Structure 1
Amino acid sequence: MLSKVISAVYWTLWVTSCVVTSAEDPYLTRALRLMSETPLIDGHNDLPWQLREQFNNQLNKVDLNKLETTHTNIPKMKEGRLGAQFWSAYVPCATQYKDAVRQTLEQIDVIHRMCDKYPETFMFATSSQEITTAFRLNKTASLIGVEGGHSIDSSLGTLRTMYQLGVRYLTLTHSCNTPWADNWLVDTGSEPSEHNGLSPFGKQLILEMNRLGMLIDLAHVTVEVMNQALDMSKAPVIFSHSSAYSVCPNKRNVPDEVLRRVKETKGIVMVNFYNDYVTCSETAKLSDVADHFDHIKKVAGAGIIGFGGDYDGVTRVPEGLEDVSKVPKLVAELLRRGWTDEEVKAALGDNLLRVLSEAEKVRDNLRSKSPDDVPIPHNEVENSCRTSYGYPTDAGAVHSLSTLALLLTLALQTLITLTAL
């Protein structure tokens, strides 16, 4: 008799569970279907930095199938349907003027080795076409973004070398000014502006990134830098991991007037999941992240939205988005809120594919243009760790001429644009 009662109770609980699950399933089922058709492309993941912090980049001591001390491992990626990932080659601002280039190269190296060690999971990618190919092969396309302009040590040659190694975006600053760009902390008032946005060399850098086909990432910069880059860039820009300032007024987020400009220039804002940028507090829920998606769509349309979780680079993530496996639940929440299949596909990956394709077109159109080899003035980067080989004795006079030439070039480009209008 007791066994029959237990069976009846079990059956009732099972039926109730099925009813609840089926009530939720339509959105999650639809989300998983869309993610099987369009790659989820995430703009920023700091797993490579965790490999340095926890293992000093000794991949032989790591099994990404079993690693449990990170937001990201292979089983979690597969459950989260991660179609493509920009892995962050990040080194702290403390390396600026010291060994930033070496340490960044080591981060680029560990990303390459990670792909080589797990070829059944990862496919190294450097183009929009390769992302599509990896998705067709049921692998996670693995791209590189360098987080922080200090990583190139104010060298266009280093920028080009990193591009040759597969880097496809550069975040212009991290949380420190470079010798040519102001970082977001300037807007908080906690640091002084050094360049009123971009210096003349910073503007050279924008044009050279266009020529290379490297995406300009405006996460971590001041609003002034955002606007200057939007004014100058011939290719769409990205915010690889930033949210909406109107929802959470943290200076790392993007104000509405910039969101509108991103729409005009056909760029992308990839929403960050860090609690402090989601709710401006230590706690957040999945629904709070969805609020940022909704706000950006309301202000500038679904055509500029992407996912930029910042997993393994932050200490707090929302309830419901504890690791990379949970992203389908966020997609389901967007559908629950009335997002169409087309809008969801745009945010999942179509927007980023369009932006990267456009940057590649700009690169191809500039193929006949020679690389910019005018160096940053020595007096702007002079320090005890830097030599002056190659600079003439009167470097200041040479810089004055190079700056004048750059300003004349920019003025001519502006005149041509205005004439065309």
Structure 2
Amino acid sequence: MLTKVIPASCLALWISSCAIALAQDPNMTRALQLMSETPLIDGHNDLPWQLRKQFNNELNKVDLHTLSTTHTNIPKIKQGRLGAQFWSAYVPCDTQYKDAVRQTLEQIDVVHRMCQKYPETFMFATSSQEIKHAFSMNKTASLIGVEGGHSLDSSLGTLRTMYHLGVRYLTITHSCNTPWADNWLVDTGSEPSQHNGLSPFGKQLIVEMNRLGMLIDLAHVTEKVMNQVLDMSKAPVIFSHSSAYSVCPHKRNVPDDVLVRVNQTKGIVMVNFYNDYVTCSRTATLSDVADHFDHIKKVGGAGIIGFGGDYDGVTRLPVGLEDVSKVPNLVAELLRRGWTDEEVKAALGNNLLRVMEEVERVRKKKKRENHGTMTGMPDDVPIPYDEVKNPCRTSVGYPDAGAIHSLSTVALLLALALQACISSAVY
């Protein structure tokens, strides 16, 4: 039998024609055009955690141009047209009551050092304006989100310090309760509620985050906490990496009634790509992820949608979205499904920019309205000692620890006010 030999020149021509046909896919062409006009802002990427796990944060042992053991590296970032990224400063729940603060500071540090090592690719950013500036310079704006309230060790001073170091969102809980907030596992019945949502200190923290201008991230919390925060926050909230509960009934996802409230309060839900949250199974496809985008748009509107891939924080990703480079495929799929250019640009980055700008506006308003008043000052009332007492914590600064501080903050203030009234009546 004779075998036909195809000349190399013909083979090259065939490959070239296939590449041209692929490039001429009108949806992909339009997707790339829109991504050149509006920054793709992703809400959650755990590359810093991989740098700790694989290299103990020794960046001198890593080349992000050639790193092949992660979902994220510089070539993939370029191919994926990543305009801005919230890098996660995450440490596990087993650090709670131990060295969570130190480890979180080290994760914040590794993001700063990553930006310093690759200044041609990354530009550190802390504001909506800085995201736009980085995009105009063809660099990936790099922001920090702390994933889990356990990283604060129940300290408002630690919260403020992290803000000053560039942290721009706090995920209220991870997968463990803190001394002041319940996590999503409570809704599964696998853990008991400790606070019926937020404790009084947890509510203090929300108020202080509004004052600082820090985004409140409700990924990983119970529905009770979601609604409590939506009731009291003066600024819009984010879900940095959560999907739609009606599409996949996993308790890490957002139910429809909350999607409606996110719309009413002008927040954002940034869709997670983890298979278990996309299809509630081990397998998923890009189309399944697009179903979440469609559902959230249907229930809450195109104005509350964003991208929150959770790359390098998950073990299973959909076919077609295997790493950061593949995100343009999803953008093209949304266009294929009839999304308008404006809706796609909103989801890419305009929604998140609007949320950040409003959070910044609330911060400025509070500073202006409360200038020179005690209400405009940082909250320095600590959490009651009995709520955080453990073998790794001292009671320095707490007079008569375990007695007067077993009262809630509100009860303590009422007691002091009553004491003042009695004193004035006697004298």
CA–CA distance in structure 1, aligned partners of residues 402 and 88 of structure 2:
35
CA 1:15/1:99 → structure 2, altered by over 3 Å: closer, same or farther?
Answer: closer
Distance 1:328 1:395, change over 3 A: same
User: Secondary structure of the equivalent of 2:342?
Assistant: helix
2: CA distance, partners of 1:250 / 1:135: 35
- Comparing 13-22 and 211-220, the one that deviates more: 13-22
Select which of 381, 389, 398 maps to 2:396: 389
What is the distance in 1 between the residues matched to 2:57 and 2:275?
A: 28
Where in structure 1 do 4 or more consecutive aligned residues deviate above 4 Å? 1-16, 405-408
Q: Which residue of 2 aligns with 1:97?
A: 97
Equivalent residue, structure 2, for 1:272: 272
Aligned pair 1:344/2:351, yes or no? no
Aligned to 1:41: 41
Percent sequence identity over aligned pairs:
78
Q: Is the 8 A contact 1:204 1:406 kept in 2?
A: no
Checking the alignment, whether the CA contact within 8 Å between 1:184 and 1:220 is kept in structure 2 is yes
Matched, 1:58 2:69: no
What's the CA shift for 1:261?
A: 0.1
Displacement of 1:392? 1.1
The answer as to whether partners of 2:387 and 2:406 remain within 8 angstroms in 1 is no
Aligned pair 1:17/2:18, yes or no? yes
Tell me what 2:422 maps to: none
**What secondary structure, in the 3-state scheme, does the structure 1 residue paired with 2:177 have?**
coil
Q: Give the alignment of 1:262-341 within 5 angstroms.
A: 262-341=262-341
AA partner of residue 33 (structure 2)? R
Counterparts of 1:16 and 1:139, CA distance in 2: 32
Cα separation, 2, equivalents of 1:130 and 1:365: 20
Q: Say whether the 8 Å CA contact 1:377–1:396 is kept in structure 2.
A: no
Q: Deviations over 1:286-345 (max 9, x none)?
A: 000000000000001000000000000000000000000000000000000000000000
Matched residue pairs, number?
407
Q: Deviations over 1:210-268 (max 9, x none)?
A: 00000000000000000000001000000000000000000000000000000000000
Paired position in structure 1 for 2:206: 206
Q: Which runs of 5+ in 2 are unaligned?
A: 416-427
Which amino acid is the alignment partner of residue 17 of structure 1? C
Note the C-alpha offset of 1:395. Answer: 5.0
Q: Report the secondary structure of 1:182's partner residue.
A: coil
Distance 2:207 2:16 in 1: 62
- Whichever residue aligns with residue 264 of structure 1, its letter is Q
Change (3 A) 1:251 1:5: closer
The change in CA–CA distance for 1:18 and 1:316 in structure 2 (over 3 A counts) is: closer
Cα separation, 2, equivalents of 1:177 and 1:11: 59
SS at match of 1:366: helix
Compared CA separation, residues 149 and 401, structure 1 to 2 (3 A): closer
Deviation, 1:21, is 2.5
Does the CA contact (< 8 Å) of 1:200 and 1:406 recur in 2? no
1:168-220 deviation digits (Å, cap 9, x = unpaired): 00000000000000000000000000000000000000000000000000000
Runs of 5+ consecutive residues of structure 1 not aligned to the other structure:
409-421
Q: Which residue of 2 aligns with 1:250?
A: 250
Change (3 A) 1:128 1:19: closer
Q: CA deviation at 1:405?
A: 7.1
Q: Paired residue for 1:129?
A: 129
User: 2:386, 2:405 within 8 Å by CA — same for their partners in 1?
Assistant: no
Residue 380 of structure 1 aligns to which amino acid in structure 2? E
Matched position secondary structure for 2:141? strand
3-state SS of the aligned residue for 1:346? helix
Residues 52-101 of structure 1, C-alpha deviations (whole Å, 9 max, x = no match): 00000000000000000000000000000000000000000000000000
Give the Cα–Cα distance (whole angstroms) in 2 for the partners of residues 340 and 284 of structure 1: 25
In structure 1, the partner of 2:184 is 184
1:396, CA displacement in angstroms?
Answer: 4.0
Change (3 A) 1:405 1:362: farther
